[in-house]
Amino acid sequence: MAPSLLATAGGLLLLFSLSSAQTRGDNIVSSSCTPNDGFGSYCPTTCGVADYMIRYKPGVTRELDDLQHALETIANLTQEAETTVVYMKDSTTSAQKSVPQDSYIKKSSSILDDVVRFEKTIVAQEQQIAELQSLIQTNELNMVNLKKVSTYLQQKCSQPCKEEVEIEPTTGTDCQDVATKGATKSGLYYIKPAKATEQFLVYCEIDNFGRGFTVIQRRRDGTVDFHKDWIQYKNGFGYLSPDDTTEFWLGNEKIHLLTASTAMPTVLRIELVDWDGNKRHKKKRFPKTNINPLCWLPPYRYADYNMFRLGSEADMYRLTYGFYFGGDAGDAFDGFDFGDDPSDKFYTSHNGIQFSTFDKDNDKYDGNCAKQDGSGWWMNRCHAAHLNGKYYQGGRYTEKDAGEFGFDNGIIWVTWHNRWYSLKETTMKIIPLSRITAGGQQSGHKNFGGLGDS
């Protein structure tokens, strides 16, 4: 039993002593490892290591207890054997003195054989004790080394994740601040808005004109399910990647902090790509303006909203903006007349509307728009724009495709495509108003950029 126990203990003890390592999941340090889908795949911490150690700790503890019990058992047996040997030797001597030797010769030989056998047993047990003591010393040394590793990992877990993902060194209050400080490369940056208690990771889109857009939403291929609850929309979900190939929702609380702490008005830019090849428009000659008369419009449709803000959680992350600033995708946030009801446009406007999820209904509808449409959004009764909707490959879908409720639940922007057309890619990003027209590009008046083009 002891050799098997030694092998088991020796193999498992190397995994010991990392159960106290704090890890970070989604930029939140907790006392135990609780990985989630908040950016973990692209910014891994030591959750996996700690979980592995935590999973094996109980077994190692049991094996160590068994080792201790085995040592005590062997020690007791050794002591009993030594006592028996002494007793036998004394009995033999006494018998030889008190009775004729011939009558006890056979009995003495048997006793001496027993003595030899017990002495061999004692030697073997003492050797086992020595081996166990050596193993214990080795394990104690390994435990000291593992505790040093544990301390190191605890320190790493309290720092920004830098294990595999490239995170740019410049920091600021937002991505425009990062660009103003000299950053020229789009990628992952840590920012800390004025009212934030700690920094958090964002994707900054920095262009050739030194404009730094903070991206708050990205849809690309449907790999991330946007059917999430209130807490997930609050904290953010999906994955941030330095090559900007992934889908995510930055988080309502972070968007609130980004828009509530700035004195300069914030512009929300929405960029849309469909499935029909409308990524780049034809050359268009503009009337007399101070811009280049021949230019390419950007490879997407867009809509800009000035003075964009997101309220606090106490106000259910209410969406407000000052006015539509322009763009060639149309103003879907203002609502749309579907022809179903005279109040369609009023009931589908989004300005001043609180955020809803399937588990927290803040819409103006008797039912639950977020539950029916399967995602969180600023639902009125219910929407004319819905960029967190269900991802439909190919774009076009029907009431039957929409499932149980049969409502338009795709990725919708009805002032470009109708409610039964789900867009291929969407981006929501913010930038200070003072920087939106940098580089000679015009963001908008309402009559600029092909508004109303089909």
- What is the Cα 423 distance to its own chain's centre? 26
For residues 250 and 216, the answer to whether their CB atoms sit within 8 Å is yes
Between CA 298 and CA 300 the distance in angstroms is 6
Sign of the C-alpha dihedral computed for residues 417, 418, 423 and 428 taken in this order? positive
Q: Residue 80 is which amino acid?
A: E
> Cα-atom radius of gyration of the chain, to the nearest Å?
36
pLDDT of residue 70: 81
Is this prediction's pTM over 0.85? Answer: no
Sign of the C-alpha dihedral computed for residues 320, 325, 331 and 334 taken in this order? positive
For residues 313 and 438, the answer to whether their CB atoms sit within 8 Å is no
Q: What are the residues whose beta carbons fall under 8 Å from the beta carbon of 296, sequence distance 6 or more?
A: 280, 281, 283
pLDDT of residue 161: 52
Between CA 49 and CA 431 the distance in angstroms is 39
Between CA 421 and CA 398 the distance in angstroms is 9
Q: How far is CA 384 from CA 47, 349, 353, 429, in A?
A: 41, 7, 13, 19
For residues 247 and 239, the answer to whether their CB atoms sit within 8 Å is yes
Give me the residues paired with residue 23 across strands: 30
DSSP state of 357: B
Give the domain ranges of the chain: 2-157, 168-440
For residues 360 and 371, the answer to whether their CB atoms sit within 8 Å is no
pLDDT of residue 19: 39
Q: Closest Cα to residue 331, out of 296, 303, 355, 311?
A: 303
Instruction: Quote the Cα angle for 319-424-247, to 5°.
Output: 65
Question: C-alpha dihedral over 316, 251, 184, 260, to 10 degrees?
Answer: 20
User: What share of the chain in percent tops pLDDT 70?
Assistant: 74
What residue spans of 99-201 are helical by DSSP H? 101-157, 175-180
pLDDT of residue 192: 96
For residues 213 and 204, the answer to whether their CB atoms sit within 8 Å is yes
Q: Residue 6 is which amino acid?
A: L
- For 199-233, the pLDDT digits (tens) are 999 999 999 999 999 999 999 999 999 999 999 99
Kind plus residue range of the DSSP H or E element containing 213: strand 212-219
From the candidate CATH numbers 3.40.50.10320, 3.90.215.10, 1.20.1260.10, 3.40.50.300, the one assigned to the domain spanning 168-440:
3.90.215.10
pLDDT of residue 50: 61
* Burial class of residue 390 in the structure, from the number of CB atoms within 10 Å of its CB (0-12 exposed, 13-18 middle, 19+ buried): buried
Query: Could you tell me the two tokens for 333?
Result: 């946030």
Between CA 240 and CA 246 the distance in angstroms is 6
Backbone angles phi, psi at 334, to 5 degrees: -80, -5
- For 230-268, the pLDDT digits (tens) are 999 999 999 999 999 999 999 999 999 999 977 889 999
Between CA 282 and CA 300 the distance in angstroms is 12
- What is the Cα 24 distance to its own chain's centre? 9
Q: Closest Cα to residue 327, out of 386, 281, 276?
A: 281
pLDDT of residue 209: 94
Query: Could you tell me the two tokens for 389?
Result: 């909707």
Q: Within the chain, which residues score under 70 in pLDDT?
A: 1-52, 92-93, 95-108, 159-164, 277-298, 438-454
